[in-house]
Structure formats: C-alpha cells, structure tokens
Amino acid sequence: MPATELDQIVNLCKRRGFVYPSAEIYGGFRSTYDYGPLGALMLRNVKEAWLRAMVQLRDDVVLIDASILGPPPVYEASGHLANFTDPLVDCTNCKQRFRQDQLDDPDLCPSCGKRGTFTDPRNFNLMFKTFAGPVEGAGAEVYLRPETAQGMFLNFANVLNTTRKKPPFGIAQVGKSFRNEITPGNFVFRTREFEQMEMEFFVPPADADRWYEFWCAERLNWYRALGIPDAMLRLRAHDADELSHYSRGTSDVEFAYPWGWGELEGIANRGDFDLTQHANHSGEKLDYFDQATNERYRPYVIEPAAGATRAMMAFLLAAYDEDVINDEPRTVLRLHPRLAPYKVAVLPLSKKDTLTPLARQVYATLADRYLVDYDETQAIGRRYRRQDEVGTPLCVTVDFDSLDDGAVTIRERDSTQQQRVPIADLLNAIGDKLGF
C-alpha cells in the first residue's frame, strides 16, 4: 500500500540519503532541500525518463538549456512582473503570513484562531530579484526565472532558423526555477527552488485543441507507465477563474497526496500570448511562414509543464510499501526500474578475500551498463532489506559455489524470487528483467 503519511517518505529520505534539509548544520534553511547520494540519482532518473519520452522518442521535439538569469524586459513582456503575484495577508495578532486564496475561511486565522485580524491583501510578486554586476540598484536588476518556459519563447526564432523544424514541433527544457513562495511546504511539494521539465509545442492555431487533448492524455500516461496506479492519478480541467494570465485552457494531472488531490503537472493552451508579447516588446518577428501554403501565422503553444522534484516525491509516495517476508516486516520501494537509484546491487556472500575478486569482476561488468551498488557489509538478509528499502530492483549474490560453477543468484525486489544464472549470461538476464 502506498504511503499514507508524508512522514513515511520524509523519514526514509533522510535515513537513506535521498533528501536532506539544506544547511542543516546551521539549523536548516526553511523549505530548501539537498538531494543526497540516492536522491540525486533518482532525480536524474526522473528527468531522464521525461527526456526519453519527450525528446528521445520524438522527432518533433528539440532540447535547449537556457539561462536562469533574465533581464526585466523579458518579464515585463511575459506578464510576470505585473501578474505573477499571490495575495498575501498578515495576521495582526500572531504575525503569521498566509496566501489569502488558500485560507479555508478568509476571516479566520488558522494559526491563532482569531477572527478579523487579517490585514488587507497585498499582491506579492513571486519572482526573486537580484543584481548583475558590482553596483546594486536601478538598471542592474535581474530576475531568476520563475519558469523554464520563457527560455523556449525567447529562442523560438533561433530554433526555427537553426533546425529544420516547423509546426507542429516542440522545444523542451529541464532545469531549475525559483519562486518566492509565501507558503512553501509539504516537503519538496512546494519549495522556493525546484526543478521543472517543460515543453512548448508550437502548432497551427487551428490544430491547438487537438494537440491540447493529445498532450493531456500523453502526460497522464507517462506517470502511469512509470508505475503510479490509476487510482492515484486524475486529470482536472481548471475553472475559468483559476487560469493563469496566459492560458486559454489548463488541465492539471493531479496526484492523491497524503493530504488530498493536488497538482502534479499542468498542461496549458497558451495560445499565441507569449510569442505575441515577445514580438511586440522586442520588435522581432516571431511567427512562421509556411512555404507550402504561402501563409504567415503565429503558432499557438501547448505546454506540458511538470515539476521534476514534485514528480520524484509522487513516485516515492506511490512506490512506498510495507509487507512481511519470512515473518519479518520490510519496507520496500516498488520503484519502476528506470526510476530506481541503483538498478542492481552486487552482494558477495562473505567479505572473504576468496570471493572479492569475482564479485568485483561482476560489479565491473554490470557497472559498465547500469548504476550498480556494491555492498559486502552485514548479513545477506539485512543487505537485501537495505536494497529493498531504496528500491533496487535486483540483487546479484556471489557465493562460494560461484567460484566453481561460474554462476550467481539474481534476487528480485518485488517477489523476492531467486534465480541462478551463469555469469556469462548475466547482462542479458539483467536486461530482460529490467526491460532495458
């Protein structure tokens, strides 16, 4: 059964080196996290699974990596300076701050329980501002990007001019975004620094509705294919009053978090809002001339926008399980093999010198293709449990018989079943079991 409490995942992440509170030795830096040895691998796997689906398996999407710092004109044009705000209220009694639109009762402070103590709402801009160069002040301001999307719009003409792509085609990007959230929280669900995986798909305006439906279905299926059960996923269309300033229609892929349904990814029809704004503000022609029809038009954009860090948390919550094996309780992460930090663990049955050379050789063979852990400490049963708890799909045990028969044992995380395999066939056997 998936995790029912957020703490099940938070504790496991800390205990096993997935996610640590940032700057912990200084008492922590609120709602900021560092990804440890296993978390860094898993986060990379989430991003690679996204890139595989969105870029590698599609000949109509290209990848870019744009800058994080941007000058004010970009965000004037994009509308973020004027519109990327949340309504902030302060409680004059307990001095706590809240997003007014997230309060159950707009007049009741959820912290101290007093009524009528809120200040009037102020629009608080979520962008982080800093200064470029040695002099702080007017003219030196720059912004940390609040979404990766603007990099794709700014490079629309560059990509058209340097590739042979034409609508329908997409520009994808994976990277950090920054938002000065008023109420960060729920572990890595909402943080001020996070990673996004976004794709802007440029289409002829007449085809926008069809592509919007396509990408909604496609994105929902991506989470399913990577192991999130149907019962924990749903697609929800935004009401008109929820739409972002650029959107003609948005649907969220929602996930059943321990606290209820919430956003995992948004798929938006941004129309021609962004290209028109940047064309008007920059004076550049941001449109497409179709030589086949002799028509010039400004494409519409369908945008699947996912959070890599938020998706990692959802995959962890969905994969978490507790069961009993040989009368012993175990915690197991039933992660899809593509997401698991390590694909295989090589476990010599004993630390004795006689086994080490062969075990090291098996490790080297597997490590050439997969990320592999090597562990020779503790009893074998405890080592299996440790690998189960971090989601390693397969363990390979090298024992004393291996020295004679040239074979090893593969043990599967989910079923705990074991199979003896000649070392000469090991790579093929592992590939068959993992599916890649």
- Applying CB under 6 A, which residues contact ligand GAP? 147, 149, 179, 181, 190-191, 194, 196, 198, 263-266, 303, 305-307, 309-310
Instruction: Give the DSSP H/E element, type plus range, for residue 202.
Output: strand 193-203
Residue 147 or 388: which CB sits closer to ligand GAP? 147
CB of 252 to ligand GAP, least distance (A): 7
Left (φ > 0), alpha (ψ -120 to 50) or beta: where does 174 sit?
beta
- List CB contacts of 334: < 8 A, sequence separation 6 or more: 227, 319, 321, 391, 413, 414
Task: Single out the residue of 134, 124, 128, 127 nearest to residue 100, CA to CA.
Answer: 124
Q: Are 60 and 167 in contact (CB under 8 A)?
A: no
Residue 254 or 388: which CB sits closer to ligand GAP? 254
Residue 16 or 179: which CB sits closer to ligand GAP? 179
CB of 325 to ligand GAP, least distance (A): 35
CB of 33 to ligand GAP, least distance (A): 10
Long-range contacts of the stretch 423-427 (C-beta < 8 A, 24+)? 423/362, 423/365, 426/362, 426/365, 426/366, 426/396, 427/365, 427/366, 427/369
Residue 192 or 330: which CB sits closer to ligand GAP? 192
- The amino acid present at 275, given as its one-letter code, is L
CB of 23 to ligand GAP, least distance (A): 18
Pairwise CA distance, residues 305 & 116, whole Å:
38
Residue 302 β-bridge partners? 201, 269
- List CB contacts of 169: < 8 A, sequence separation 6 or more: 60, 61, 62, 201, 202
CB of 235 to ligand GAP, least distance (A): 13
Task: Report the DSSP pairing between strands 61-63 and 69-70.
Answer: unpaired
CB of 312 to ligand GAP, least distance (A): 10
CB of 174 to ligand GAP, least distance (A): 11
Residue 265 or 399: which CB sits closer to ligand GAP? 265
CB of 268 to ligand GAP, least distance (A): 7
Residue 269 or 397: which CB sits closer to ligand GAP? 269
Q: Are 270 and 246 in contact (CB under 8 A)?
A: yes
Q: Which two tokens stand for residue 168?
A: 């329908």
Residue 176 or 330: which CB sits closer to ligand GAP? 176
Residue of closest CB approach to ligand GAP: 307
Residue 264 or 355: which CB sits closer to ligand GAP? 264
